[in-house]
Structure 1
Amino acid sequence: MSEHGRGRVSVPIPALADPDRLRSLDETRLDAVPDEAFDRFARLVGDLLDVPVALVSLVDAERQFFPGATGLPEPWAARRETPLSHSFCQHVVDIEMPLVLPDARLYPRVRLNLAIEDLGVVAYAGMPLTDLDGRVLGSLCAIDSKPRAWTKEQLRTLADLAAACSSELRLRIALRGAEQARRRAEEAHGRLAMLAGMSETLGGTLDVTTAVDRLGHAMVPLLADWCLITLVDPAGRPRTVTGVHRDAEREADLARFAELLTTGLSGESQIRSVLRTGRPAVRAVAGLDDVARGTTHPDLVPLADRLGVGSHLTVPITAAGDRVIGAVTLVNRQGRRGFDASDLRTAQDIGVRAGQAVGNSRLYGEQRHVAEVLQHSMLPALPAVPGIELAARYLPAADRVEVGGDWYDAFVQPDGELIAAIGDVAGHDIEAAATMGQLRNLVRGNAYGRNDPVEDLVAHLDRAMGGLRVPTVATAVLARIRPADGALRVSWCNAGHPPPLLVRADGTVSVADGRGPLLGLARPPRRTGRTLTLAPGDTLLLHTDGLIERRDQPIDEGQADLLAHLRAGGPGVPLDLLCDRLLAAAHQWEDDVALLALRAG
């Protein structure tokens, strides 16, 4: 060790670097600043031993510092610390015994110490200051600038004061330990609360992106300063990586880091190892070298530097059969404690719960895709009819497990008339979608080629559903549209469905009322038909209740909102644009939505 350029070399003392001793020293929470309790001990030593300088000196691996001091010359009095080149107290730590020197210049151990020249230390008496386990943290020392024969009474007084000073140090350490225990208890309680609520948090959605986002925010900052969640494709390769950081200003850096990580993992990557083996990995102390070894893209290391890396752990996300479908990585920055076995157990529990949520989300997505394909396959292409403009829309619920039984239909009769229908089958699953297909086919088979009044067609549909045992109840509007004197005459019958809306060419809006009982009742009711006329430019709008139904308001309010939106749109809105606007206005729809609009040309 250099002696500050003066050509003097000191031999390193191993005891100074003992990690347990340094940990205990750190737990005193003392530093090179005045502390009233320890300044009092220094003053007592100065008064009782009649010495010009007295110190409470604590020694770490690189310096000694003085939370208690009296009589130090400047600049040391202001600094409250010296390098080890100026330390006699380091030898008290080394020998773990009192060090008593009547004239330091005569002792080989210290005669070259710079404290003699720079601080005027000649006579020195230092008593060990210890923690509860007997580790020496420093010394309580008396110093004179001239030789001195220390008496037994002086050394006994110094030893008694050192014992009292050690008790104060132990109290500080105990308080720190109690504080740490309280913090650990709070952390444990927070983790238990998080784990208890995680199933509900993750189970509240069946969208993978939402589930991953909720997972990240549940873990940060409670468990880590930032996290990464990696999901793999069927071949086990990273498909998506997302993350959450406790500092909002680091979001862009983390998003870029996650993006590059999908293709930037090297063969030594901890994440790749966990994905391959299914075994967790922990680095209690880590740094940028770990990032450099585990990645291949040059931008990842500087990004990691800005995000902060002090320790990290990675656990697998496992689905049914212990199949690894991803990994959770927790990262702490420097200054926060490294991850331990308790953190690992918590993270593994999270990995299992995340696997259940992601697995359920993927299964739901597959089932929903099947149902949507089935449903869309049953929704027809609209026919081209002279003098009638047609537009239709179908949209499944925004965030639902189920795909419903909403449907619409429009087809041309042999005589050129148009039959239009819209309906909703009870239920929200693949069975409902399949039943919807049956009902739509029944409507077509029941109406095609027949000239009966629409109310008779609906009555016959009731009987067909009962006779064929179609296992549902449903709502529907069936309408027949035929040209009449330059306009369109519409005959319609409503079976328990939201009523059609009439938007006149001048922008006025009205409800074509006249709702009847549901389809599929055990005792089919008598059906009633209605008629209306569409002048050129007039629009008839048929819709399912998903357009107006909200969980937090009566359906009448939803219908009033829809009417107000139609009125605000003004006259002459193109039919496709009108349908798009209606769906956009219902941006938080909670049920499937079907629309069928027709306009007189």
Structure 2
Amino acid sequence: MTERSERPAVEIAALADPARLRSLTDTGLDAAPDEAFDRFARLVGDLLDVPVALVSLVTETRQFFPGAVGLPDPWAARRQTPLSHSFCQHVIDTEIPLVLPDARLYPRVRENLAVPELGVVAYAGMPLTDLDGRVLGSLCAIDRKPRAWTKAQLRTLADLAAACSSELRLRIALDAAQEARRLVEHAHDRLNLLASLSETLAGTLDVETAVGRLADAVVPLLADWAMVTLIDQGSEPRWVTAVHRDPARAAEAARFGELALRRLGPASITRTVLRTGQPVLRGVADLDDVRRASDAPELVTLAERLGFASHLTVPVPAPGRGAVMGAVTLVNGPDRRAFDDDDLATALEIGRRAGQAVGNGWIYGEQRHVAEVLQHSMLPQLPQSPWVELVARYQPAADRVEVGGDWYDAFVQPDGDLIAAIGDVAGHDIEAAATMGQLRNLVRGNAYARSDPVDELMRRLDATISGLRIPTAATAVLARLRPAPGGVAVTWCNAGHPAPLLITADGTARLLESRREPLLGLTRPVPRTGAQVLLAPGDTLLLYTDGLVERRDQPIDEGMAQLCERVTAAGARPAADLCDLLLGSEQRREDDVALLALRAR
């Protein structure tokens, strides 16, 4: 552009009116041909017999022509000019038609560059308005020579301008309708997100799983990438997970989270939210936010790669405590719209629901830890025996915090015999655990220093439970082991418990079936019978509770048959390895499991 074409435009305050500019934006028009508005320009050209006709819309810095005929090059291709070439801006300034027979005679416009560069001499422009009467531009007729505009021509131009204004208003209304629809859909998506998030988070009590699900739920629906931070009891970040919408950026997001855990300073937004419990929204952000947050240059590099143009961070409140247990950070890159107050409100609700889930997970974890410690404290230390190797295992059911009723015991008699027992008290609560402890102590009290057969010991146990009125229903296997020629002699009695498993030295397994007898704790005494077997060196007697073989979708007999098949397929292996193998199944267990393996040396 020549030096002459760089002449500054006259400043007109009305051009910068935010409401007017918003209406211009809502038309959805720009410096590109639009058939409807090109039609208006052609009609003006034909009906007024002018070489140039324009539908001109004016911003605070330029005018553009969605409808145009007769413009000279290069303006015909550009479909826009700076305000230094605009007569139409004066229509917006005065809000009335501008009619000039010869622009070169009017001081207000005679220096306008539209005269020499666009050839504008005669000009007639009618206001184009929105529904509120704001002038967005003009429908103008232009001649390259002086012209006396007739009343009929100006009336025709005014009628066409009114129709053109109606088209602009329709475009604005359609944009508003589309925006309203978008907002409704956006709100619907967010409601669905919150509903599905609640369901997703309620599906687990594991904190790590819950936080991972949370991050996956908000990306990419709400953000390009997200980071969830949890704190420890000292209010220090102890765990961070970060995810990105692009799987190719997953490693970089994870690295960002790893560095954020260790290198964020006290001035960082995350630590500020963790400290104050107040959310922070940066609708427009840059990498300086990351530079101020940490002394790690790599964080800045990673943020740039992941996309960092807008972000918000909200607290994860501890339910009912008024404290903060973490923070959720959402980040958008430059290609996505900036976060706003609606996003902040949604994120705050996400943080609240996350707080409930994480809080429940922490409470569950604490309770489960207490339950496991209590359970294991009630399990005995196995004795040492020169002729029997003893191995025991206990595994609580997944996702349960109650103390179970499964138990095992083994102790050496004064005469050298070994008494072994395993049992299961009905229930999974503190009462079942208490009863389990009582039952184990009764076994010891009734059997220690007695040489009675095991069926008699079991009968005495029945009588003791009944006499002391211990309210319980329990199963148990009681066994006595003693050295014998050729191995270890075992006599056992079974009170409603799964049959013991005999595993020979070569790994073959079979159930030791005996007479099925009632559970312990029945109101009327029942006769008890014993059975016996000889363990050759290397043979193993496996006692177990029903959690190892019982499933809701199959009879217990099938589970026991599968146990035999599994043990046989495993072949000969150390007793400890065998127990670990049996408990190492990937299948989710529905009940606690106790194992007691006794291998003849």
Would you say same fold, with TM above 0.5? yes
Q: Greater shift after overlay, 385-394 or 67-76? A: 67-76
2:257 pairs with 1:262: no
| Equivalent residue, structure 1, for 2:418 | 418
**Distance of 1:575 and 1:194 partners within structure 2:** 50
Whether the aligned pair in 2 keeps the contact of 1:371 and 1:429 (CA below 8 Å) is no
After TM superposition, list the pairs within 5 Å mapping 1:307-326 onto structure 2: 307-319=306-318, 320-326=320-326
**Corresponding residue number in structure 2 for 1:33:** 32
2:149 aligns to what? 150
- 2:133 corresponds in structure 1 to 134
Q: Summarize the Cα distance change of 1:402–1:9 in structure 2 as closer, same or farther, 3 Å threshold.
A: same
- Alignment check: 8 A CA contact 2:374 2:403 kept: no
Compared CA separation, residues 120 and 478, structure 1 to 2 (3 A): farther
Q: Match of 1:485?
A: 485
Specify the alignment match of 2:350 in structure 1: 350
CA distance in 2, matches of 1:3, 1:416: 114
Query: 1:597 aligns to what?
Result: 597
Assess if the C-alpha contact under 8 Å between 1:207 and 1:361 holds in 2. yes
The secondary structure found in structure 2 opposite 1:169 is helix
- Over 3 Å counting, the alpha-carbon distance change for 1:294 and 1:94 in structure 2 is farther
Pairwise CA distance, 1:233: 2.0
**One-letter identity of the residue aligned with 1:357:** A
Shift of 1:445: 2.4
Partner of 2:458: 458
Contact 2:493 2:530 in 1 (8 A): yes
Q: Alpha carbons of 1:27 and 1:231: their partners in 2 closer, same or farther (altered >3 Å)?
A: same
For the residues of structure 2 that align with 1:164 and 1:553, how far apart are their CA atoms? 78
Aligned equivalent of 1:583: 583
CA distance in 1, matches of 2:117, 2:363: 76
Post-superposition shift, 1:372? Answer: 1.0
1:163 aligns with 2:175: no
Equivalent residues of 1:317, 1:326 under 8 A apart:
yes
Aligned residues: 599
Where do 1:10-159 residues align within 5 Å?
10=9, 13-107=12-106, 109-111=108-110, 113-159=112-158
Distance 2:63 2:247 in 1: 39
Task: Work out the CA distance in 1 between the residues paired with 2:562 and 2:114.
Answer: 86
Cα distance in 1 for partners of 2:191, 2:489 equals 67
Partner SS state of residue 159, structure 2: helix
Change (3 A) 1:182 1:491: same
Note the aligned Cα RMSD (angstroms): 3.0
Which residue identity lines up with residue 548 of structure 1 in the other structure? V
Which residue does the alignment assign to 1:542? Answer: 543
Pair 128,272 (structure 1): closer, same or farther in 2 beyond 3 Å = farther
Partner of 1:566: 567
Partner of residue 289, structure 1: 288
Decide whether the 8 Å contact of 1:216 with 1:227 is kept in 2: yes
What's the counterpart of residue 228 of structure 1?
A: 227
Aligned to 1:497: 497
More displaced stretch, 203-212 vs 81-90: 81-90
Distance in 1 (alpha carbons) for counterparts of 2:32 and 2:220 = 32
The answer on whether the counterparts of 1:421 and 1:477 sit within 8 Å (CA) in structure 2 is yes
Deviation of 1:113 (Å)? 4.8
Instruction: Measure how far apart 1:485 and its partner are.
Output: 1.9
Alignment of 1:195-206 (within 5 A): 195-196=194-195, 198-206=197-205
* 1-structure distance, mates of 2:554, 2:169: 64
For residues 416 and 337 of structure 1, do their structure 2 counterparts lie closer, same or farther at Cα, with a shift above 3 Å needed? same
Q: Against the structure 1 CA distance between its residues 600 and 287, is the aligned structure 2 distance closer, same or farther, given a 3 Å change threshold?
A: same
1:330 Cα shift? 3.4
SS at match of 2:584: helix
How far 1:62 sits from its partner (Å)?
A: 4.6
Q: Deviations 1:282-335 (Å, cap 9, x if unpaired)?
A: 333333333333444322333333333444333332222312222333334445
1:387 CA drift (Å): 3.3
Deviates more, 1:361-370 or 1:49-58: 49-58
CA contact (8 A) 1:206 1:401 kept: no
Residue identity opposite 1:324 in structure 2? V
Q: CA separation in 2, counterparts of 1:464 and 1:76? A: 107
CA apart distance, 1:361: 1.9
Question: Shift in Å at residue 371 of structure 1?
Answer: 1.4
Q: TM-score, normalised by structure 1?
A: 0.89
1:274 aligns with 2:287: no
Q: Which ranges in structure 2 are unaligned for 5 or more consecutive residues?
A: none
Aligned-residue offset at 1:500: 1.9
Listed one character per residue, the Cα deviations across residues 190-216 of structure 1 (whole Å, up to 9, x for unaligned) are 433444455443333222122222333
Q: Is the 8 A contact 2:125 2:140 kept in 1?
A: yes
> 2:524 is matched by which residue type in structure 1?
R
Closer/same/farther in 2, CA of residues 83 and 473 from structure 1, 3 Å limit = farther
**Residue type of the partner of 1:272?**
R
Secondary structure of the residue that 2:44 maps to in structure 1? Answer: helix
Paired position in structure 2 for 1:521: 522
CA distance in 2 between counterparts of 1:139 and 1:74 reads 21
Instruction: Report the TM-score, using the length of structure 2 for normalisation.
Output: 0.89
The C-alpha deviation readout for 1:13-33, integer Å capped at 9, x for no partner, is 554444433333232222333
Distance 2:224 2:315 in 1: 19
User: Residue 75 of structure 1: CA displacement?
Assistant: 4.5
Letter in 2 for 1:368: R
SS of structure 2 residue aligned to 1:394: strand
8 Å contact kept, 1:31–1:65: yes
Alpha-carbon distance in structure 2 between the residues aligned to 1:328 and 1:556: 50
Query: Quick check: 1:329 aligned with 2:303?
Result: no
**1:378-436 C-alpha deviation (Å, 9 max, x unpaired):** 22333332232332222222322334222222222222222222222222234433433
Q: Distance in 1 between matches of 2:332 and 2:342?
A: 15
Q: How far off its partner does 1:525 sit?
A: 3.0
Query: Is the Cα contact below 8 Å between 2:10 and 2:84 reproduced in 1?
Result: no
8 Å CA contact 2:5, 2:84 repeated in 1: no
**d(CA) in 1 for partners of 2:139 and 2:555?**
80
Amino acid at match of 1:292: R
2:93, 2:414 → 1: CA distance?
108
Once the two structures are overlaid, the 10-residue window that deviates more, 469-478 or 334-343, is 334-343
Say whether the 8 Å CA contact 1:3–1:85 is kept in structure 2: no
What amino acid maps onto 1:253 in structure 2? Answer: E
Q: Give structure 1 stretches of 5+ with no counterpart.
A: none
Secondary structure of 1:262's counterpart equals helix
CA distance in structure 1 between the aligned counterparts of 2:437 and 2:88, rounded to whole angstroms: 90
- Whole-angstrom distance in 2 between the partners of 1:560 and 1:251: 45
Contact 2:283–2:311, Cα closer than 8 Å, also in 1: yes
SS in 2 for 1:482: strand
Q: Go from structure 1 to structure 2 and tell me whether the alpha carbon gap of 1:388 and 1:72 turns closer, same or farther (over 3 Å shift).
A: farther
Deviation larger for 329-338 or 238-247: 329-338
Change (3 A) 1:373 1:157: same
Q: 1:471 to 1:211 in 2, by over 3 A?
A: farther
How far residue 337 of structure 1 moved from its aligned partner, in angstroms, is 4.6
Shift of 1:471: 4.2
SS at match of 2:497: coil
Deviating runs (4+, > 6 A) in structure 1?
Answer: 2-5
Contact 2:5 2:113 (8 Å CA) reproduced? no
CA distance in 2, matches of 1:45, 1:111: 24
Deviation (angstroms), 1:597: 1.8
Partner in structure 2 of residue 361 of structure 1:
361
The whole-number CA distance in structure 1 between the counterparts of 2:491 and 2:84 is 105
Residue aligned with 2:292, SS: helix
Residues 456, 35 of structure 1: alpha-carbon distance in 2 compared, 3 angstrom cutoff? farther
| Deviations 1:169-190 (CA, angstroms, capped at 9, x unpaired) | 2212212212222222233334
The one-letter code matched in structure 2 to 1:228 is: M
Matched residue, 2:429: 429
